[in-house]
Amino acid sequence: MVKEMNTKVELCGITMDNPVMAASGTFGYGYEFAELYDINVLGSFSFKGTTLEPRFGNPLPRIAECNEGLINSIGLQNPGVDKVISDELPKLAECLHKKVMANVGGFSIEEYAEVSRRLDGCEQVGWIEVNVSCPNVHDGGIAFGTDPEAASSVVRAVKAVVTKPVIVKLSPNVTDIVAIAKACEEAGADGIALINTMLGMRIDLKTKKPVIANKMGGFSGPAVFPVAVRMVYQVYEAVDIPVIGIGGISTAEDVIEMMLAGATAIEVGAANLVDPYVCKKIVEDLPRVMDKYGITDLKDIIGGAHNG
């Protein structure tokens, strides 16, 4: 008999029933998955990366399979922020009765700020998740998230125009993840989410050419989990704001491990593409795993691996 467990966590002032969220780009705008199960069992989810203008995305093919994950180069395909607000969020409101995380992409500081400002006005949006892995078109295509000053400039611009908590989603494709996380915190970020995908590539042996049209793409899945745990651990020690752990999570045990590393909440990404019910299964299995390891309140284990 599994004892009563407290799975609630608080993320930037918002209480969630559990720490399990679906990661941006793997859960659409939610209502697609609501056809399969009641998505209110989740803590929340981060909806598809949204930009100012509609984007078709990158050329096909843009998915490549790997033994322990997959590579994608979707290219922020989305209908643009105005359509998201007018069409997607009303449909989501019919099936999700919780706050949702809005994922924001941009190719200039001004675009990040404007998209965030518009989404900040939406009642259902609880947090703004700023994806600084996008290339800066005004600086030769270098991703905002690879430079502490560029990342902090985005954070300052967004914080100046929003009232809701700003979570900065960091790229692992950097030399010093801690320096960038600290720069974001100093600029006013309310939380840090990591990791985004790593850079990967596959080559087709028959054609002798890269599988993905863009040659390289974001590598995600179980193989990146140890890297994600390491970076969450490092960032938790360096900042005083909440951390969201992302990268290769597919089981309730993974959730516990990521929280011990320092995560307040977690996001499940690639696993949703393998099993659309995986988030529901993780939530349902959490009490059993908590009981197995003598955990009665999840909040008590956040950063537990740093003790002693």
The span from the CA of 211 to the CA of 104, in Å, is 28
> Pick the catalytic residue: 12, 66, 134, 184?
134
Where does residue 270 fall: left (phi above 0), alpha (psi -120 to 50 degrees), or beta otherwise?
Answer: alpha
DSSP-derived pairing of the beta strands 243-246 and 265-268? parallel
What value, to the nearest 5°, has the Cα angle with vertex 179 and ends 239 and 300?
A: 25
Those residues whose C-beta lies under 8 Å from the C-beta of residue 232, and which sit 6 or more positions away, are 194, 195, 243, 245, 258, 261, 262, 263
- Token pair of 45, please? 């989810």
β-sheet bridge partners, residue 242:
none
β-sheet bridge partners, residue 167:
129, 191
Closest to 191 in 3D by CA, of 129, 257, 137: 129
Residue 134 appears among annotated catalytic residues? yes
Radius of gyration from C-alpha coordinates of the chain: 18
Asked if residue 61 has a cis previous peptide bond (ω within 30° of 0), the answer is yes
Asked if residue 244 has a cis previous peptide bond (ω within 30° of 0), the answer is no
**Catalytic residue ranges:** 134
